Structure formats: C-alpha cells, structure tokens
Chain A
Amino acid sequence: MSRRFHAPIVLTLAFLTVVVVLLFTGGLFVRKVVGGAFRDAELVRIARVHLADMLKQQLDEETGVRGYSAVRIPVLLDAYYGGRANLPLYFRRVRADLEALKVTEALRPLHDAARTNYRWVHEIAFPLIAHPRSRQRLQLRGKTLVDRFRIDSAIIDADLARRTAAVNAGAQRAVVLVGLLALGAIVAVVLAAVLFTVQQYRLAQRLDRERSYSERERRRAAELRAAYEAEKRIADVLQQAFSERIFPAVPALSFSATYIPATEQAKVGGDWYDALQLSEDRVLLAIGDVTGHGIEAVVAMNKARQLLIGSALLDATPSQVLARVNSELVRAKSPIITALAAVLDTRTGEFAYCAAGHPPPVLLEPGSRARLLEFGSLPLGVDSGVEYRTRSVQTTPGTLIVLYTDGAIEYARDLAAGESALLRAVESAAECAAPNAAAVIRESIFSSQKVADDVAILTVRLSETGGVSVGGQAADSAISAEVRTRNARKVNPSRLRRSA
C-alpha cells in the first residue's frame, strides 16, 4: 500500500492520540483538584467539630465554676476539671487542623483563645473556687473573658468557612474544567472525523483522477500498440518480399544469406542484400542499411536497392555505382544509407568493392585467418560531393567473402568484441564446411547474444576448381538457402583446408 493511503489514517490516529493524551492529562488534573477539594472539605468539617468541642469545653468549665460558686456543691466542678484536662488537647487538635488546612490567619485567634482561657482560669476560676463570696464581680469579668473566647472561636470558624468557600470554588472550577474537557473531547473527535473524511474524499478524488488518467493511457497505449503492430506487420511483409533474393546461377560461386529481423521491441529496419549476375564471369554483390526503422526505412531501402542495381547495369565499377546512387539519394533527400557494392570476377578472382559508411567485408582465404578489408567513405545521401573509392582484392580459389550489416557487430555496443566474434564465426563457418555459411555465422554469433537490430549476412564462396553450378536460389531464409546450396554445391569444404 502506498504512502498516500497511509497518510490520512496516520494523521487521524496521530490527532486522536494527541487528543487522548490531552484528555488523560486533563482528567488526572481534574481528579487531583476534585480529590483535593473533597479532602480539604473533610478537614474543614473535622476542624469545625474540634473547634466546637473546644468552645464547649470552655463553656463547660465556665458553667461548672459558676454553679459551684452559687451552690457550693463540689460535684459541679467536675465539668470544670474535665474542661481543664481536655482543652489543651482540643487546642492542639484545632491548631493541627488549621496548619493542615494552611489557614494560618486563624492561628492568631486560636492563640488568643488559649490565652483568654488561661486568663479565665487564673483570674476567674481560681478566685471563684477559692473565694465564692466575691462571685458577682468575678462572674461578670468571667463572662467577658468567655465572650472573648467565643469571639476568637467565631473568628476561627469564619476563617474555616472562607477556606470551605475557597475549596468549593476550586471544586466548582474543576467541575467546569471537566465539562470543558468533555466538550473539547467531543469537538476533537468531531474534528478528527471531519479531517479523516476530508482526506478520504480528497484521496478518492485523486484516485478517480488517476484511474481516469490510467484508463486514457491504457487506451492510448493500446492504440499505439495496434498502430505499431500494423506498421510492423506491413514492414515485415515488405521486408520479407524485398529480402527474397534469387541468387544468380554462376558456376564457381556458392551463395548463402540470412536475414534476422529486429526483436519485438525494435522496429523492422531497412537492411537488404543483393546478388546480380552482370556478365558470364562477373557478379554484383550489394548490401545496405537504411538509417531508421519502419515502413519509411523499408521503402527507402527498396528505392536504394533499385537505384543500385540500375546503376550497376550502366557501369559496374563499385565507386561509380555508389556515386550515382548517392547523387540520386541526395537529390531526393533520402534518409542516410550505408551500403557496400562489390563486383566479383570469377575468371580473374578480383574482388572489387566500395563501401559507403558501411562495415568492411570479411575475407577468408584458404590457409589464412579471416580478416576485415579496408574501410570506405561517407554513407549515401549525405553530400553529393562525396568521392567514393573502389578497392580491389585478389582472391584465391576457396575464398569465402562475407558481407554484413552493422547489426552483426554492434549488438553489444562493443565493436572490437563484435568484430572478433564475427571473424571467429566466419572461421567456424569455413572450418565446419557448412553448406550455409551465413546460417552458421548467425548461429555462432547470436546463439548467446540478443539481436538488437536487423542483421543481414551475405556470403559468397569461390570454388577451388571453377565450373560450379549454382542456380536460382532463393535466400530468404537460412533453411531454404541451406537446402538449395546443399543441392547445388559441388565444392567440398574439406578441400579448402587441404589446399590451405
């Protein structure tokens, strides 16, 4: 699944994760605030109870002393003694409560209340118990001190009440915060849903666009494919028709040829070869390659071939043949064509050739290694002023001459390796004495190599004795050429080696 499909889900999950983390953190905070509020409220309640008990002890003391001073019954002092025993404990409790609640402002009234109690005990209770007769004045003063004690208690209680109010306010704020968090969570979830939905919508739109684009491209590719196949079919037919050559019936010569069309990926090119008997002893050999592929190349190839044959019939000097073809092609603004024209004289053994931007022939004489002949000049169709030169080689009986197009050596884009492979293949063809040398060369090179471009190979072998009769061979395919050559051939290849 591609990144674009993951992105909306990842984004949404990331957003929801952030929301959950925020909600969780907020919940912990609210829990802490609310928990603190409840704890403080409980502490305030306990403090107020302690405060009430403290006041009650003071009142019990005061009531007991006042009763005793009135009726002199000792049992009435029990409350006084109880209060005296308990009050310090309640003072400490209330103090601890106030400190726990951090109501420090109430510590001062508490201190005052303790001091008031102390004064009441020493200034009122002790004298009254010891001298009950002066009770009226002391009782009045005692009442004043008790009132002061009440006031201090009331102040402390008020402070606690304020503390309670503050705690309640905090709790209320926490509750409000809980509400806000809940609302935020709802909004966040809604936003996440909206975000996810929008992303899904945009993704769907994009997929829809891409689907439409893919469909258009598929249709276009199908159209192109159909057009390509149609063109290739036509080009194949044309190429097949043009490459079906009838070799001349020349004694002392045996021909073979092969043509390998380009692979499926490439288009059919404009490779061709020809062999034409000019006179009893002279044969025109030609091979060429049109730059480019397809029908246009095949048509140009056919035109060049016709021009070449026509020129050869006027004057068979290879350089003159190519010069005339070149002039015509330049005039007609034809595609550039590489070609090689050669005339082989079976009587003298002279092999005269002229190359126009074309790979040189390979010559294998009995007893020698296969070798490349000299290079030629510029291709045809470039410039009408190009001068072509005829080169001549004296052959011996049994010589094998190989003409080929660049596809036979450029398949790996390494010319040195291609040339070596070709020369080895030519030697193999001579050694194994195969009736169809072109097929052997083809197999030798392309049994382990992929055909990258059209390949045409034309071979001609001179017999050792002359008088060889080769008639009417069609070399359109290696098999048919092989059969024909086998039937017609009278040269024993083993004699080639013997003569070497």
Chain B
Amino acid sequence: MTDTEAIKIVQFKGELEIGRKGEIHDALAAVHDARAILVDLAEVSYADSIALTELLRFCVKAQREERPVALLIQTPQFARLIQYAGLASSFKVFAQNAEALEYLQTSIRS
C-alpha cells in the first residue's frame, strides 16, 4: 500500500447542519480505520454545533488512536468557526490540499 493509498479522503460540501448529522457520521465512520485521513471541508461554509460535535469527536478519536487527521478548510467563514470551536488550535488545519497530503504522508512515514 502506497502512502497515497493509505490516506483516505472524506469530503463535505455546503452547510453542515443537524439534518445532515447521519450523513456526516456515516461518512466519517467509513474512513475511521484509515492510516491517515484528509477531511476535505474546502467547500463547507457553515457548520452548526451538532455537525461540529461530530467532527470534533471524530478528530479526538483519531488522535487518540494515533491516526493523523488533516482538515482542509478554505472558506473564511468556516475557518473562523473552527477557531471558535477550538479545532484550529488542537488539530491540523490546512488551506491547501497539497500541504494537507504532504503532512499526512510525512506522518505515515514517521
């Protein structure tokens, strides 16, 4: 398995709300066993507290299991929201896809 194959990518778009809780949970659960995970939130503009909670729990669990997780965030609104929620200071957040992948590949090798 190459480094690229070991990285699983889960992508979300639009506004993440309570109505999409199941979708978010299932999508994250589908990649939970990957060696490294890229959560692509580049096209997410908003997330309510329920959606953030799902994301938060996933990141904490992955961190506890020593699976590197990179959050790809490109919209200013969502970047701000992530700062509020404390994710920006606790997890790896990237604005560029290449940087996120590079971080994950480096983490796998080490």
Residues of A within 8 A of B (CB): 289, 291-292, 336, 338, 355-360, 375-379, 382-383, 386, 406, 413-416, 419
Contacts and interface: CB of A to CB of B under 8 A. Distances in A.
B64 interface: yes
Query: Which 7 residue pairs are nearest across A and B when measured between Cβ atoms?
Result: A378-B86, A415-B80, A357-B86, A291-B49, A413-B46, A377-B86, A383-B60
Contacts of B46: 413
A414 B15 CA distance: 12
A216 B15 CA distance: 33
A473 B87 CA distance: 37
11 contacts: A291-B49, A292-B49, A336-B49, A359-B84, A376-B89, A378-B87, A379-B86, A382-B57, A386-B90, A413-B45, A416-B80
A369 to B, nearest CB: 19
B83 interface: yes
A315 B83 CA distance: 27
A413 B84 CA distance: 13
A379 B77 contact: no
B86 A356 contact: yes
Chain B residues touching A, majority SS: helix
Contact of B77 (A291, A356, A413): A413
A147 to B, nearest CB: 111
A159 B95 CA distance: 106
B50 interface: yes
B29 to A, nearest CB: 18
Interface string B44-55: 011001100100
Contact of B64 (A359, A375, A383, A413): A383
Contacts of B31: none
B84 A378 contact: no
B50 A291 contact: yes
B84 A415 contact: yes
B81 interface: yes
A357 B84 contact: yes
Interface residues of B, number: 23
A291 B86 CA distance: 15
Chain A residues touching B, majority SS: loop
A382 B81 contact: no
Nearest to A385: B64
Given A386-B90, A416-B77, A416-B80, A378 B49 contact: no
Given A359-B84, A383-B64, A336 B53 contact: yes
B89 A416 contact: no
Given A383-B60, A413-B46, A375 B83 contact: yes
B57 to A, nearest CB: 7
Contacts of B90: 377-378, 386
B76 interface: yes
Given A357-B84, A416-B80, 18 more contacts: A289-B49, A291-B50, A336-B56, A356-B86, A360-B84, A375-B86, A375-B88, A376-B86, A377-B86, A377-B89, A377-B90, A378-B87, A379-B86, A386-B90, A406-B84, A413-B45, A415-B77, A415-B84
Contacts of A360: 84
A416 B84 contact: no
B60 A414 contact: no
Contacts of A414: 77
A378 B56 contact: yes
B84 A375 contact: yes
Contacts of A289: 49
